[in-house]
Amino acid sequence: MKTRICGTGSALPKRKVTNDDLSKILDTSDEWIRSRTGICARHLAVEESLTSLAADAAKEALDEAKINPRELDLILAATLSADHLVPSLSCELQRELGAENAAAFDINAACSGFLFALQTADVYIKSGQYQKILVVGGEILSRLMDWNDRSTCVLFGDGAGAAVVLPDETSGILGSVQGSDGARGEALLCENRKNNNPYIANGTGLSYVSMNGQEVYKFAVRTVPKAILEAIKKAGLAIEEIDLFVLHQANIRIIESVSKRLKVPMEKFPTNLESCGNISAGSVPILLDHINKKGMLHKGDHIVLAGFGAGLTWGASVLTW
């Protein structure tokens, strides 16, 4: 039995913010951001909550899969920026969708989150415990940014993507890998609120995302090609048989480096980071939905999905569409 993606969906906030817009509030420029990252714009949540974005994405995915929310057995949401610490995004989504028969929990593996959630869904389906699973990845990262730190806040965006997965005899996930390196976690960090119990002095305060960009860059270009090759091997395929590589949208230079290391042309690496920036756990499912809606996915195609990011974490899956 395989786990097949039968529907996708995505939602971006209405407010689009270009590099030029940012250069009006920060000491930065379109040229700097574009030449180092490939990013030209991102969407930032002003009116939306993460729950509303995730619900819009989920409804599209459920429609395409022709699944009623009441049929769902499980909702898995990957995020590090849920609207509340509790209830989880997945439970809020369950309420919004009226998916009253589903169990629901969140997964935090940062930018690899959608891959970890998808692979968790795969294990549930293979075990026979659940059949109809909604997997969501989404972020409102703009709430975690230090808007005075031009080296991080220009990179990220907000949005949510969703996939409905069902058991299938022939098509679906063929092989997956996942990994973590907590020893190098400080490279990309966001502290929770400080402990303010009565026995700690100066306990209050909030912190924002901080990043050693060059460390994260080196980690990504070394780890991602290896993870992809391992997943393709597990799937029993050769790299030439892969039609598309749907990678986490952090930086065009990282994607170009992966393409070069794998000796695969850039045409096989669709991107939307130009208009979306890095949406962490939302990045892979949003791009998957965008290329699905453009008609770029055909039955029988072999697709690689790969994520990498804070933790540090990484994950890759190979599937037949």
Binding footprint of ligand COA on the chain (CB under 6 A)? 28, 32-33, 36-37, 111, 150-151, 154, 211, 213-214, 216-217, 250-251, 278, 309
Q: Count the helices and strands in the chain (H runs, E runs).
A: 10, 13
CB of 29 to ligand COA, least distance (A): 6
Question: Is 111 labeled as catalytic in the residue annotation?
Answer: yes
C-alpha to C-alpha distance for 9 and 59, rounded to whole angstroms? 7
C-alpha to C-alpha distance for 179 and 43, rounded to whole angstroms? 30
Could you tell me how many residues make up the chain? Answer: 321
Please state, as a whole number, how many other Cβ atoms lie within 10 Å of the Cβ of residue 201: 6
User: Which CB atom, from 117 or from 174, has the smaller least distance to ligand COA?
Assistant: 117
C-alpha to C-alpha distance for 80 and 37, rounded to whole angstroms? 22
Q: Which amino acid, one-letter code, is at 188? A: L
Angle between helices 283-293 and 50-65 (to 10 degrees): 40
C-alpha radius of gyration, the chain, whole number: 19
User: Which CB atom, from 216 or from 231, has the smaller least distance to ligand COA?
Assistant: 216
User: Which CB atom, from 69 or from 225, has the smaller least distance to ligand COA?
Assistant: 225
The catalytic residue among 19, 272, 278, 292 is 278
CB of 110 to ligand COA, least distance (A): 7
Pairing of strands 133-140, 173-180: unpaired
CB of 88 to ligand COA, least distance (A): 22
CB 159 within 8 A of CB 53: yes
Kindly report the three-state secondary structure assignment for every residue of 128-162.
CCCCCEEEEEEEEHHHCCCCCCHHHHCCECEEEEE
User: Which CB atom, from 135 or from 273, has the smaller least distance to ligand COA?
Assistant: 273
User: Which CB atom, from 137 or from 309, has the smaller least distance to ligand COA?
Assistant: 309
User: Which CB atom, from 208 or from 217, has the smaller least distance to ligand COA?
Assistant: 217
CB of 111 to ligand COA, least distance (A): 4
CB of 38 to ligand COA, least distance (A): 9
The catalytic residue among 248, 272, 290, 292 is 248
Q: Which amino acid, one-letter code, is at 116? A: F
CB of 241 to ligand COA, least distance (A): 28
Q: Roughly how many angstroms between the first and final C-alpha of the chain, as a whole number?
A: 15
Question: Is 278 labeled as catalytic in the residue annotation?
Answer: yes
The catalytic residue among 6, 91, 111, 190 is 111
Residues 6+ apart with CB under 8 A from 8: 60, 61, 64, 161, 162, 163, 164, 285, 288, 289, 292, 293
Angle between helices 283-293 and 113-127 (to 10 degrees): 80
Active site amino acids: 111, 248, 278
